Amino acid sequence: MESQGPTSLARNQQGSGFAAGWFEGLSSGVILIDHTRKVLALTSGIQQILGSALPELGPTRLDQLPAALSALAEEALAPGGPSANRIIQISGGCTWLRVNALAVDDGTGRRSVALVLSDWTPIRQAEQQMARLDRLANLGTLAAGMAHEVKNALVACKTFIDLLLEKNAEGELVEIVRREMGRIDSLVSRMLKFGGLGSGKQSVVHVHEILEHSLRLLEPQMEDKAITLMRALEAAPDLVLADDHELQQAFVNLLLNAVEAMGLKGTLTVTTRVEIGGEKTPSGNGRPQLCLSIEDTGAGVPDHVLSHLFEPFVTTKPSGTGLGLAITRQIVHQHRGTIRVRSQLGQGTTFTISLPAVGVNP
């Protein structure tokens, strides 16, 4: 709908002259409603503020306005109803408005109301962001305190586990336990630094080895749900510059999310490939990329959640913390990579990590 001036939207001749005098030159959004619940006039700024919440040709009656706005006007129009100044939500909670409802009595008991609207959405988003940052700060303090205590206990545990493994050396079991103990120690050390991801030592690593180890850790969960695992590991070579513990943490987070998203007899598909001349990454130049995709056949993610999926505390799980994907994205970015997600309700979700490939000629 094309924006129109205030006088062109006046609803009758008596109201239009009065409205023009009130609204001429105003840039804020104002709606004037008379005692019969008729919309006399509104400024052009209303279309920008309310957008698709308005009828195509503009509202003619109070009940054509968003419900929260209409209810506030009804309060002010009621006999003896006070003027009001409130913050309300419309458009399914996506838009916040600050509304002044100013009631005017013409002396005969008939009341009109002027609704003065301003878009409060950026301010509310800033408030919500500050609240998230405050929660993150509190989480950091808690994490640092817990990590300190865990690390002290881990020293003793690691010593005794090493002794037990020496007496019961069983090839693969020893390798898995020692690797996981080392990973726990690395994670706790990073928690103590709070935000110290990316500080680990990076070297050229085989992505397929890290991926296979990550899949072995999730075998019990996949067996319990009878999940079918499909592999198409086609990246050759499969080399990237990375901290293997951090990369494994990112892979495990994504794989665990995929397994938890599926019911019985789902399908988990893991693929790798090398793309040459693909999209540019934070490192720079559109260099060859090693791309890893993890696809599940779960319930999918709603659109209103999908755009916020990597933000802290955003989760679709009843008991989730909403930190796994935020940490995963941080790990990927600090390895000069990108992570993307696509999802469709009822069909599943696919995460794709792209990292600068090593040993591939452009």
Can you tell me the distance from the alpha carbon of 296 to that of 299, in angstroms, rounded to the nearest whole number? 9
Mean pLDDT over each residue of the chain, to the nearest integer: 77
User: N- to C-terminal Cα distance for the chain?
Assistant: 49
The encoded tokens of residue 44 equal 């052009």
Strand 228-233 versus strand 203-206 pairing type: unpaired
The predicted model scores a pTM of 0.51
Give bridge partners of residue 30 from the DSSP assignment.
116
CB atoms within 10 A of CB 63: 11
- Contact in structure between 215 and 270 (CB atoms under 8 Å): yes
Question: Which pLDDT score, from 0 to 100, does residue 316 have?
Answer: 65
* 163 vs 38, more confident: 38
The encoded tokens of residue 114 equal 């002027």
pLDDT tens per residue, range 200-239 = 678 999 999 999 999 998 888 899 899 999 999 999 999 9
Which range of 91-95, 173-177, 343-347 scores highest in mean pLDDT? It is 343-347
Q: Is residue 101 pLDDT above 60, yes or no? A: yes
Question: Which pLDDT score, from 0 to 100, does residue 320 have?
Answer: 53
Instruction: Please give the DSSP secondary-structure letter assigned to residue 233.
Output: E
- State residue 257 phi and psi, 5-degree precision: -60, -40
Question: Which pLDDT score, from 0 to 100, does residue 241 have?
Answer: 94
Strand 348-356 versus strand 338-344 pairing type: antiparallel
Question: Which pLDDT score, from 0 to 100, does residue 49 have?
Answer: 76
pLDDT tens per residue, range 239-264 = 999 988 889 889 988 998 999 999 89
For 297-318, what is the mean pLDDT?
Answer: 79
Can you tell me the distance from the alpha carbon of 222 to that of 224, in angstroms, rounded to the nearest whole number? 5
Instruction: Please give the DSSP secondary-structure letter assigned to residue 109.
Output: S
pLDDT band at 199 (very low <50, low <70, confident <90, very high): low
Question: Which pLDDT score, from 0 to 100, does residue 127 have?
Answer: 79
